[in-house]
Each structure stands twice: as structure tokens, then as C-alpha cells.
């Protein structure tokens, strides 16, 4: 590809893209496919430079304030985004169909961006019968802090009141860890919509109280969560908030292995981004079921503030 000669090999970063939609459009001329979409940077800056092109660059367009629109022959199977600042993203072996309109989100990576931190995930354990539990994490990122110290896992004695006694004989109300991740992001649906809520930041306390009750957290867990996160979110005028719960938590933040296996477990992770105006994307409300808490129960809560703003999508 001729564009490859424009940058050193070190600038050719592996970066993601999403095919948001692919549908028939009466506005697309015979023999062509309309390719359109947005280029989104992880450091929240608007991507003002770059090109989107087919293979061989016979059809190309410049990115305009993050947006692009390009007609390519339906015989093409490759399109790419290229920028000197961000490197290259190639979409290959895609079936571009005559008369279709394909919407693509390119998500480019600026190496000056500071990876988002996984802030204050804490693990509560309760058991109606006293037990000894071993807890291991597989973090989707880098562990930066833990208390008590995480040394190939934690081993703690658990009682009904939730008091955890570590091997050093010290007692703790919960297990704490923090980390950094290079790929933590809001989850977007195939149609480009987001699950979550957009709200005025000064209503965050009431929102969190209701949401955490629905998720099955007790009063002490709610207080710990709200006193940490509400103070951060309320600094902004508006915020977009998305929760990753249970399986999404495991997939995107950290997997957890506990022995013996809990009877019930609830893992709650909040993602939020400050916003200064209403989002242009569609938001779907999130609905969660509560969790039973008899037997051996584990609750984990954490979150991240994301600097990349979904409104740019």
C-alpha cells in the first residue's frame, strides 16, 4: 500500500475500528459503496488531520473535524485511515456491497495519552459460616496498588459481619486494589447507541442511591461507593455514566477466581465522562436485577473516569 511509505514502521500502530452499520441506501450510485463515519482519539482531541482511502488511494478523502464520507467502488475490499500523528488502521477483506452505506468508527491512539486508572475496586466478603477464602485476580491491565498487599492472591478468614482477617493477623473491612488499563472504554452497541444514563451532575447522589439499591448493595457498601464517586462526578456540570456489571466487569476490568466458590457474587464497575452538552448518540437505560446474599457472598465495586468523550462518536 502506497501510504505505508509515508511513515516509519514504528508509527504503524494496531488500533481498533467498529463497523457500526451496513445497509442499503438509495442515495448511493450504482457500482459504489458509501463509507462514512468518525475518527475518535483516546485523548479526547478532535482528529483534524488524516485521510480515509481505498487500496491504491484511487478514492480518498480528508478527515474534517473527525468526520469523513467517501464513495468507493463496490469491488474494493480494503479501506484505511492514515495520519502522521496516529499511524494507520486498515480494514481488509470486507465485503463492500453495491448501493450500501457503511458507517465506521475508527478509534485511534495517541501515545501521549495517560492510560485511565482503575480506581478503588474493593472486595467485600460475607459468610454465614466462618470460612477461609482464597482470592486471585487476573487484571486486564497493570496492578499499581493493593491493601493488604496482593502477593499471588489473598487468603482471608471471612465471617458473617464481613470482617476479613488476613494471614498477617490484621483485620480489614474489604480488600483493595487499583490498576491502569490501556483499553478500558465505554461499551457501544452495534447500532452505535450506548447503554447508560446522561444526567446533571448535581443529581448524582440520588441516582447512585437508587441504582446501587437495585444492584443489591447494602447500606455500608453504598456509602463507601457514593462518598468516593459522587464527589468526583459532581465537580462537572453533566456526566455520561455506564455500569459494567458481573460478566462485563470480568471481561473488561478483571477476572476473579475465588475458592471456595461464592454462593452469590455481584461485581459493579462505574464508567463516567464529564460532558458540557447533551450527547448526540442514543442512550438506552440499563436495568439490573438484585442479587441474593445468603451463604458465602462476594461484592466488588470500582470505577474509572474516562477522558475520551462519547459525544465525539
Least Cα distance to 135 among 162, 153, 159 occurs for 153
**Residue 226, SS3?**
helix
Say what the pLDDT of residue 88 is. Answer: 81
Say what the pLDDT of residue 136 is. Answer: 97
Buried b or exposed e, range 135-152, using 16+ CB within 10 angstroms: bebebbbeeeebeeebee
Q: With contact defined as beta carbons under 8 Å apart, do 36 and 69 qualify?
A: yes
Say what the pLDDT of residue 46 is. Answer: 67
CA–CA gap between residue 291 and residue 223 (Å, rounded)? 18
Crossing angle of helices 219-233 and 204-215, in 10° steps, is 150
More confident: 169 or 85: 169
Written as one string, the DSSP assignment of 75-116 is T---EEEEETTTEEEEE-S--PPTTEEEEEEEEE--TTSPPP
Domains of the chain: 2-108 (2.60.40.1120), 117-181+193-312 (no CATH)
DSSP state of 204: H
From residue 105, alpha-carbon distances to 65, 176, 191, 304 in Å are 14, 36, 11, 23
Mean pLDDT over each residue of the chain, to the nearest integer: 88
- Point out the least confidently predicted range of 28-32, 41-45, 223-227: 41-45
Say what the pLDDT of residue 183 is. Answer: 81
Say what the pLDDT of residue 44 is. Answer: 53
* Confidence check: pLDDT of 101 > 50: yes
Q: Phi/psi of residue 250, each to 5°? A: -65, -40
Evaluate the CA torsion angle 208, 209, 215, 220 in order and state its sign: positive
Say what the pLDDT of residue 127 is. Answer: 98
- What percent of the chain clears pLDDT 90, i.e. is strictly above it? 67
Say what the pLDDT of residue 12 is. Answer: 31
pLDDT-based confidence at 192, cuts 50/70/90? confident
pLDDT-based confidence at 250, cuts 50/70/90? very high
From residue 254, alpha-carbon distances to 133, 145, 175, 184, 248 in Å are 18, 14, 14, 11, 9
Written as one string, the DSSP assignment of 114-131 is PPPEEEEEEEEEEESS-E
* Confidence check: pLDDT of 109 > 90: no
Say what the pLDDT of residue 43 is. Answer: 57
Q: With contact defined as beta carbons under 8 Å apart, do 71 and 33 qualify?
A: yes
251-281: pLDDT as tens digits: 999 999 999 999 999 999 999 998 877 888 8
pLDDT-based confidence at 42, cuts 50/70/90? low
Least Cα distance to 174 among 215, 138, 216, 125 occurs for 125
Amino acid at each position: 500500500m502506497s501510504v505505508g511509505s509515508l511513515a516509519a514502521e514504528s508509527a504503524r500502530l494496531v488500533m481498533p475500528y467498529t463497523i457500526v452499520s451496513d445497509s442499503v441506501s438509495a442515495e448511493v450510485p450504482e457500482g459504489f459503496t458509501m463509507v462514512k463515519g468518525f475518527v475518535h482519539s483516546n485523548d479526547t482531541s478532535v482528529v483534524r488531520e488524516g485521510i480515509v482511502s481505498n487500496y491504491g488511494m484511487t478514492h480518498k478523502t480528508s478527515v474534517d473535524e473527525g468526520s469523513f464520507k467517501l464513495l468507493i467502488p463496490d469491488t474494493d475490499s480494503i479501506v484505511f485511515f492514515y495520519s502522521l500523528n496516529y499511524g494507520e488502521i486498515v480494514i481488509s477483506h470486507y465485503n463492500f456491497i453495491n448501493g450500501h452505506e457503511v458507517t465506521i468508527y475508527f478509534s485511534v491512539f495517541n501515545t501521549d495519552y495517560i492510560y485511565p486508572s482503575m480506581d478503588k475496586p474493593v472486595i467485600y466478603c460475607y459468610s454465614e459460616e466462618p470460612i477461609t477464602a482464597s482470592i486471585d485476580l487476573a487484571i486486564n491491565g497493570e496492578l499499581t496498588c493493593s491493601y493488604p498487599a496482593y502477593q499471588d492472591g489473598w487468603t482471608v478468614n471471612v465471617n458473617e459481619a464481613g470482617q476479613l482477617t488476613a494471614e498477617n493477623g490484621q483485620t480489614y473491612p474489604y480488600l483493595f486494589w487499583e490498576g491502569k488499563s490501556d483499553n478500558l472504554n465505554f461499551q457501544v452497541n452495534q447500532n452505535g447507541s450506548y447503554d447508560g444514563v446522561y444526567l446533571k451532575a448535581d443529581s448524582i447522589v440520588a441516582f447512585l442511591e437508587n441504582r446501587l439499591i437495585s444492584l443489591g448493595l447494602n447500606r455500608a457498601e453504598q456509602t463507601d461507593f457514593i462518598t468516593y464517586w459522587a464527589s468526583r462526578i459532581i465537580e462537572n456540570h453533566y456526566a455520561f455514566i455506564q455500569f459494567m456489571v458481573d460478566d462485563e466487569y470480568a471481561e473488561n476490568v478483571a477476572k476473579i477466581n475465588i475458592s471456595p466458590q461464592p454462593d452469590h457474587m455481584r461485581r459493579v464497575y462505574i464508567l463516567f465522562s464529564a460532558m458540557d452538552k447533551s450527547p448526540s448518540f442514543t442512550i438506552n437505560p440499563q436495568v439490573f436485577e438484585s442479587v441474593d446474599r445468603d451463604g458465602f457472598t462476594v461484592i466488588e465495586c470500582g470505577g474509572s473516569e474516562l477522558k475520551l468523550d462519547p459525544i465525539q462518536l
